[in-house]
Structure 1
Amino acid sequence: MRETERQKRWAAGSITAYLCLVLILMLSLISGTIASVRNAHARVMTACAMEQGLYSLFAGYDRTLLGQYELFFYNGGDKSGVWKPETMSRKVAETAGEVLSPTASGMGILSGSLSGGQVTEVYLGGYRLATDEEGSAFSRQICEAMKASLGTYGIQQLSQKLRGEQETVKRQEDGQSGYEEEEVLKQYEESKQPEEGTEKTEGEGESGNGTPSEPDQKQPVPEDFVNPIEVIQKVMKMGILGLVLPEGQCQVEYVLCGKNSDQDNLAGTVNRLLALREAANLVYLAKDAQKQGEMEAMAGVIAASFGVPAAMPVVKMALAVCWAFAESILDLRELLDGGKVALFKTAESWQLSLEQLPKLLETGDQSRKNAPGGMEYSDYLRLLLMQKSGKAVTFGAMDLVEYNMRTEQQQPGFRLDCCVDELEAGFTAVIGKREYEITRNYGYEMQGAA
């Protein structure tokens, strides 16, 4: 009887012990689960706080820069243009703290959570500015803005058009070989006088019947004849701006030339356009049979007036150079007056007759023609820009943006060197009794966390 009671008590104790052990295990499991959940919750809070901090920072992009140039950059400098990274760190810390703190007044997405926390340290791991890597972020955003406005198909069409025009210009420049302006006009000046210092050999100067022959004599020309080469040579020495008289603020021209004054940038651009148009016009003159005949006839008259008929080919080349130059002056005047000029001339789009050359400055504008299917001034500027390196164009464009932001937008301390495109930041937070550290990368490319 006693043995049976002892066994019963032992069994009851074993069951109790087992139940206690199970309860302890369950409590340990629940406690561990709760700790794990709290830890996971804290990590989620930390990640959310960092994301919120960076998002809040980058939401403070420069509105003027976006409105004027469609560029997303956070200005990390002060009003005087001094780089202030600590301002960005403080902004991230403030926003992250609002997310972590349980006492935040509705500012954070997890405000009111039972697990409070605070940011103890914020650091910047790295950043990419608009001007870093030769302006790669700046040029990338420009390209993205163009793609958004034109679309992929539009950009492809524009690229094909520009490449075709560039190939045409290259062919025209290659076709100009042999008609270099300075060399042709130098030969022309030399052709005016017969060679001196040559001695006659025996029998030289006698005709076939033994009588002395008369040397070449200058042939008379009509009294009203004006040698157009002499006139155009004087025109060439005039200031190019005085010949074309454009107006405006020279933005693209600065990118092309990079000079310190609008006048220098404009003069440089116009000279490049003049060279481009001269090459095109010379190529056309070389292919037009009628104009070739006109030049030969006039060159014969001019060479005869020098008393050097053999100089006719050189005079003809000088006529072609002067005619192409004068035609190009009218081209530039038309472009800068808002008109269009064909990239490659035809008989219909050619403006100036050979007889009009001496009166280019007096009556030349009466012959100007607008070519409806031609190219505008801005189109020709794009052609010139394509001849420059991408680095040079990017640097010039960045200079212009800074200049306009400082002057037109009244931000005298603005600097693209302080404009942030991408940022890596991290912070340490204390939630409960544990420390949590996190690092994230954020930028206007929106490629997500690092």
Structure 2
Amino acid sequence: MKQRFCSGSVSIFYVLILVGLISVLFAFLEAARVSALKTNVHLLTGQAEDAVYASYQPELWEQYHLLFWEESGEGNTGTFPEVCNLQKDAVEQNWESQQFGHNFFFLQAHCSKVEVEQYQLATDDNGAGYYQQAANWMRQNVAEDVLKTVLQSVTESKTDGLEQRGELQEQEVFQALEQMDQSGKTAQTRELPEETGNQEQTRVLAEAQEIKEAEVDAGKTGENSRVELANRSDLQNPLEWMKAVKKNGVLALVMPEQNVSNKELGQTEGVNHTHSAKGSWQQEKTASVTDRLLFGLYCRAHFSDATQERGDRALDYEMEYLIGGKNADQENLKAVVNRLLLMREGANLLYLETDSTKSQEAMSVALALTSVVANPELAEPVKHAILAAWAYAESISDVRILLNGGKVSLVKNDTQWHTDLKHLGDALNTSEKNTEQEGLSYDGYLQLLLWTTSEEKIRQRSMNLIEQNTGVCMNQMAGKIKCSVEYEAQPLFWNLVQLGNNEIGSYHFAEDSEVCYAESKK
């Protein structure tokens, strides 16, 4: 009996020690399992993010290299149920794939909740998300030296004020014509002055007198006779010629033989109208000069212009639309051509004023014209008006060259000058054959005009074109989505050493899921 009792007491002692050791072992195993569960749910969250990244809107990427999630539900309430369901399904599918042959898996964790905390739509903050994506794509696809060259071109072109100068020049021409008309009323019967030895002056005097005689013979007065006579190749008063050709319209002057697109945008509201849907993402990054330049290059790469039409688009002249903002191709092209003419007028007049030979030639014509109206005091202002008309003729030649695929220098020299004061009408026959190898193409001049256009308007108009061409709605495109993901897992080893009736609750884990198409994943 005694020996049997001693043997039994020793066995109970060892059993208690063994139970304690097993409890400690299971505690370590459970702690290790909890740590592994945290790692596993982090991996599951990353895999769920990848599922969202892979579900981008395909049309935007194929045509415009933009990555956005499209919430296809009616109305955007900010909950993004499709994103939440996609991530839940991705977590469950990834968890099921880890169960090889339906064997027991130690790291079972179920996604219990996915909730959107913040998101950014493409139209938020004047299209900041769209703008940043476009700039980032161009940054990865343009050489640094090309970027520096374009930046230097737009920042050092010295085109500021040229358009305003061109407008003043045209006003100067019309004012000079009005002054000459008033002076001519008192000198209609005045005879031609005797030749003074200046052959150029004598020639122009004779032409001016011939114009007046032709008007009297034909019995014509007023604007109709003036227009007809000004268009004659053998009788060209520079001021009358300019006034006459401007009546034809800018497109008839620079594109007489080309078919102009008649496409127009529909009446449907685009992103340039106010949208009710707005995201909650806090935008911190501000656009830099480099970003603005990159966005301009992006527009050049993805939108067509008058020299490279695309028939499958809502508008053929998309770059012109970004600058002009009209609903019709013709109106946008007119706006751009008019701005180019004004810009070139200003630049061309600056050159003419520095060329003494051409200035003297203009003065000879001015003296002849003012002598006919018996008011030589007008010679100086008429000379400036003639130079302005000459600059206008050269501008027509420049724009014709650009639209035919040629190049035109911003600042010209004598060898690059195409028109002759004696034959301004020849400007209407200029083609790309007259161009120089140096200078900017039509595409380059569009970049200059784009640089002077409001950045906010360019963003809105470009997104409007994207909507028209793809059928998507940009205010339903999310570029950034931040979600909170909750997981639940049941204890395993603790259940084997549970003491008493107290049940051990489940484990809960929380992870942040952030989908950001505009930036690369870390």
- Are 2:410 and 2:439, in contact at CA under 8 Å, matched by a contact in 1? yes
Is 1:354 aligned with 2:412?
no
Offset at residue 74 of structure 1 (A): 2.3
Q: Deviations over 1:247-297 (max 9, x none)?
A: 541111111011111111111111111111111111111011110011000
RMSD: 3.5
Partner of 2:456: 391
Does the 8 Å CA contact 2:121/2:476 hold for their aligned counterparts? yes
| Counterpart selection for 1:170 from 160, 168, 174 | 160
Displacement of 1:417: 1.7
Q: Which digits, 9 at most, give the CA deviation of each residue in 1:281-322, with x for residues without a partner?
A: 111110111100110001111101111111111211211111
The answer on whether the counterparts of 1:102 and 1:112 sit within 8 Å (CA) in structure 2 is: no
Q: Relative to 1, partners in 2 of residues 1:81 and 1:400: Cα closer, same or farther, differing over 3 Å?
A: farther
- 1:183, distance to aligned residue in structure 2 (A): 3.8
Letter in 2 for 1:126: Q
User: In the alignment, which residue of structure 2 is the partner of 1:241?
Assistant: 251
Distance in 1 between residues matched to 2:151 and 2:344, nearest whole Å:
22
Structure 1 215/138 Cα, relative in aligned 2: closer, same or farther at 3 Å?
A: closer
Report what 2:30 is aligned to. Answer: 35
1:390 is displaced (CA, Å) by 2.5
Is 2:501 aligned against 1:434? no
Greater displacement, 31-40 / 370-379: 31-40
**Structure 2 residue matching 1:170: 3-state secondary structure:** coil
Give runs of aligned pairs for residues 6-405 of structure 1, distance below 5 A: 22-77=17-72, 85-101=80-96, 113-165=105-157, 167=158, 169-170=159-160, 176=165, 180-194=169-183, 217=190, 219=192, 221-222=205-206, 223=210, 225-245=235-255, 247=260, 248=306, 249-358=316-425, 360-361=427-428, 364-365=429-430, 369-405=434-470
Distance in 1 of aligned mates of 2:114 and 2:346: 62
Letter matched to residue 372 of structure 1: Q
User: Cα distance 1:254–1:337, how it changes in 2: closer, same or farther (>3 A)?
Assistant: same
Query: How far does residue 334 in structure 1 lie from its aligned partner after superposition?
Result: 1.0
Moved more, 281-290 or 28-37: 28-37
Q: TM-score, normalised by structure 2?
A: 0.70
Compared CA separation, residues 43 and 193, structure 1 to 2 (3 A)? same
**3-state DSSP class of the match of 1:423?**
strand
The reply on whether 1:416 has 2:389 as its aligned counterpart is: no
Q: Once the 2 structures are TM-superposed, how far is the Cα of residue 439 of structure 1 from its aligned partner? A: 2.2
CA distance in 2, matches of 1:374, 1:425: 52
Range moving further from structure 2, 216-225 or 179-188: 216-225
Whole-Å separation in 2 of the counterparts to 1:188 and 1:136: 51
Distance 2:519 2:242 in 1: 60
Q: Once the 2 structures are TM-superposed, how far is the Cα of residue 159 of structure 1 from its aligned partner?
A: 1.3
Deviations 1:350-389 (A, max 9, x none): 111001125654xx43797111112110000001111123
- In percent, how many aligned pairs have the same letter? 25
1:20 is displaced (CA, Å) by 5.9
Q: Which runs of 5+ in 1 are unaligned?
A: 198-213, 407-413
| Matched position secondary structure for 2:380 | helix
Q: Report the more deviating stretch, 365-374 or 322-331.
A: 365-374
- Report the residue type matching 2:516 in the other structure: G
**Hey, what's the Cα distance between the residues in 2 that align with 1:428 and 1:155?**
46
Conservation of the 8 A alpha-carbon contact between 1:340 and 1:375: yes
Deviation at residue 111 of structure 1 after TM alignment:
9.5
SS at match of 1:269: helix
Letter in structure 2 aligned against 1:182: Q
Mapped partners of 1:100, 1:114: distance in 2: 11
Distance in structure 1 (CA, Å) of the matches to 2:97 and 2:362 = 92
Cα distance between partner residues in 2 of 1:76 and 1:292: 66
Query: How far 1:163 sits from its partner (Å)?
Result: 1.8
The code of the aligned residue for 1:436 comes to F
For 1:132 and 1:31, the matched residues in 2 are separated by 53
CA distance in 2, matches of 1:35, 1:335: 76
For 1:403 and 1:324, locate their aligned partners in 2 and report how far apart those are by CA, in whole Å.
Answer: 40
Which has the higher Rg, Structure 1 or Structure 2? 1
Question: Is the Cα contact below 8 Å between 1:219 and 1:305 reproduced in 2?
Answer: yes
Find the aligned partners of 1:146 and 1:375 in 2 and give their Cα distance. Answer: 21
